[in-house]
Structure 1
């Protein structure tokens, strides 16, 4: 009876998730950890390197090493962590990531690699559960390689890079049918991939501060609510934008726009159907 009671008490007192919180702890090296860790919070330290021993954390689901000094690259062993769901390695000094770093990340839903020094990222094709991807504030010249279908990807933030038109193939967004928000401003694009206009759930597009000379003809999805195209080289807009009757925020400052189209867009963003608290403006 005592043994049964002991086992029952042990199961009741065992934590549902092994969590380690070492945020802002002044660490300069990756800590030694028990293999059953599921959540690891290490942000705001001065860690310079992730060791190969991270591969032993086979139950790890959440890795947050935001705002450290992790440099150059990661050990290949990190790519074996198949239980990962959220990874935040933003605001570090990473320069190159390879295919091996993502090999078993099929359960990853949120990946933040923004504000590093990345010039190349390996294939993200294994990340078929990905919902949010942040790669902004790097040195990338091409959009990352995705799987043929990234059915859950809703948010892609890849602004403030060096992405060129050659690195953004026309068919790219055929793989992202769930895409809702694309932030791709501050790059070197003269065109946007034509497949973007076929994303049926697209709500927001920020493509300003690119040397854009044209937009896809469309038809554009009627779900579109926000469109930012200022500081581009556009001399015209596709007439199909008139069908986007949910547009509420539009910035086309400096864009050559047909008077009738401009008037139609202005009518859309000033429509009284606007939701409470929304901000409507045609600049």
Structure 2
């Protein structure tokens, strides 16, 4: 039997069947190789992970609806409108590090109810939303290091009640307001290294009852008031290296019953009395000399 289409050449029925089989085989091989019809042209897609790093992108491309991990680092993206308009119910992790983002509205990620990890490192963000991040409440890890932030105003993170890690190192932060990290009772890791902090509010850290690791090295701190760390009964590691301390007193560390390690090297401390930390039983890291010996 002969079939005649609109082309110039007739095709037998058996030839048509064979053609269909070959097309189906190609599609199977294409899918098994990780190529999807809804995968952005510049990206690769596999098992829910969409990888678009270092592709010169200026906007976020349309994404498969089952995307769970989005890797967009090392591009030239300046805005996130194209991302926020997409329905991505399974999205758990976004890496936008090394792009050209300059500002956030706070609502860019609100619709992604499954988001737990957000990496915004190495952009040009100079301020955080005044009304805080409008969700997602599921967020656990937030990386804002290597931006151009100059301060931490009140309530910037108050909606992120589940947050366990907040990295803000290598910015230009000179002040932390009294309520900058208010409500972050589940925070375990806070990094403020290599900023320009000259003081820390006595009440600025009072919500951080679950904190285990605090990095304040590489700032301009000269002293801090008694009670600054009073609520941090779970703190295990404190880095105060490379600041401008000329003296410290044991009472300044009152309440740190779980503290195990502290760094005070590269300060203006000529020596340090051993009784400062005797009651805390901590291990002093770095090269600061001691008069006497530590209790541990």
TM over 0.5: yes
Verify: 1:259 aligned to 2:264, yes or no: no
Select 1:196's aligned residue among 196, 205, 208.
205
**CA–CA distance in structure 2, aligned partners of residues 153 and 108 of structure 1:** 11
Q: What residue is the counterpart of 1:39 in the other structure?
A: 49
2:157 pairs with 1:151: no
Instruction: Name the structure 2 match of 1:227.
Output: 238
> Which among 60, 73, 76 is matched to residue 70 of structure 1?
76
* TM-superposed deviation, 1:182: 0.7
Counterpart of 2:184? 176
Q: State the match for 1:281 in structure 2.
A: 285
1:60 to 50, 67, 85: 67
What's 2:118 paired with?
Answer: 111
- Whichever of the two has the greater Rg, that structure is 2
Shift of 1:208: 1.1
Structure 2 CA distance for aligned equivalents of residues 36 and 57 of structure 1:
11
Q: Structure 1: how far apart are the matches of 2:105 and 2:274?
A: 49
Give, in whole Å, the separation in 1 of the partners of 2:187 and 2:268. Answer: 25
Structure 1, unaligned stretches of length 5 or more? 1-13, 23-29, 271-279
Residue ranges of structure 2 left out of the alignment (5+ in a row): 1-27, 289-296
In the superposition, relative to structure 1, how do residues 188 and 248 fare at CA in structure 2: closer, same or farther (>3 Å)?
A: same
Post-superposition offset of 1:117: 2.4
Write out per-residue CA displacement over residues 24-79 of structure 1, whole angstroms, 9 at most, x where no aligned residue. xxxxxx62789999431223x3323124x53x64443211112x2224x1231312
Cα distance in 2 between the residues matched to 1:75 and 1:37? 24
CA contact (8 A) 1:220 1:241 kept: no
The TM-score normalised by the length of structure 2 is: 0.69
Corresponding residue of 1:120 = 127
Per the alignment, residue 4 of structure 1 pairs with none
1:157-214 Cα distance to aligned partner (Å, 9 max, x none) = 110001121xx21122222100111110111222234231441211111101112233
**TM-score w.r.t. length of structure 1:** 0.71
- Which residue is equivalent to 1:92? 99
SS of 2:126's partner is coil
* 1:268 is the counterpart of 2:277: no
**Which one of the candidate residues 246, 256, 266 is aligned to 2:258?**
246
User: Take 1:252 and 1:60, find their aligned partners in 2: how far apart are those partners?
Assistant: 45
RMSD, matched Cα: 3.5
Q: How many residues align?
A: 243
